[in-house]
Structure 1
Amino acid sequence: MARRFIPVLLIALLVIVHAQIWFGRGSVPRVASLKQQLATQELANRDAQLRNDQLVSEVSDLQEGLGMVEELARQELGMVKPNEIFVQIAKGKN
């Protein structure tokens, strides 16, 4: 009787372990799903970090003075300082 009981017990334990692997809290499909969610979240975090770094840089420039405003005025409005000469080079048609 005891000799029959041991294999049955081992098979039952194997079935339980297999069930946990495939259907339990730490199952293979759940782990794969969590890995996918983690990858998606890491990508979103990376994008948010890049945007935050850009905003920190802009805030720093604005706090340091009018350097950023002057740069934008030079680029977009063609601002020149006193005693500067504005030179525009036109590209010729080839």
Structure 2
Amino acid sequence: MRLFQLGLFVLLAYLQYLLWFGHNGVEDYTRLSKAVESHQQTNQQLSKRNKLLEADIQDLKLDLEGVEERARLELGMIKPDEVFYRVLPSKQKESK
């Protein structure tokens, strides 16, 4: 009877070891849970970025004003009959 109880105890200890430290145990579960959470956050950020890019694409496809705005801001282009004024900040005199 003692040998049977000892065998059950050893089996219980072995199963507990597998549960906590073995393959697919609690340690692996917590590590994978953190990885999944990190990937979900990354996916949310990329999804927001994709929505903004999609909106930009739709603006450029449908409206000529979007193309004109980009040409003005990014390339510094002006229309043929426009006058361009560039205002520079004034330099303050240094007092000695």
TM class by smaller structure? 0.5 to 0.7
Aligned to 1:79: 78
Aligned to 2:36: 38
Tell whether the 8 Å contact from 1:62 to 1:68 is kept in structure 2 after alignment: yes
How far apart are residue 63 of structure 1 and its match?
2.7
How far apart are residue 9 of structure 1 and its match?
5.4
Report the TM-score when normalising by structure 2: 0.64
How do 1:2-81 residues align onto structure 2 when only pairs under 5 Å count? 4=2, 7-8=5-6, 10-21=8-19, 22-25=21-24, 27-75=25-73, 76-80=75-79
Tell whether the 8 Å contact from 1:80 to 1:86 is kept in structure 2 after alignment: no
Uncovered stretches (5+) of structure 1, i.e. residues with no partner: none
Tell whether the 8 Å contact from 1:61 to 1:68 is kept in structure 2 after alignment: yes
- Count of residues paired in the alignment: 90
Identity of aligned residues (%): 24
Judged with a 3 Å threshold, the aligned counterparts in structure 2 of structure 1 residues 81 and 54 are, in CA distance, closer, same or farther, namely farther
Aligned equivalents of 2:46, 2:89: Cα separation in 1: 40
Aligned equivalents of 1:31, 1:71: Cα separation in 2: 51
Aligned equivalents of 1:81, 1:60: Cα separation in 2: 27
How far apart are residue 37 of structure 1 and its match?
2.7
Cα RMSD after superposing both structures: 3.0
Report the TM-score when normalising by structure 1: 0.65
Uncovered stretches (5+) of structure 2, i.e. residues with no partner: none
How far apart are residue 80 of structure 1 and its match?
4.4
* Runs of 4+ displaced beyond 6 Å: none
Letter in 1 for 2:22: F
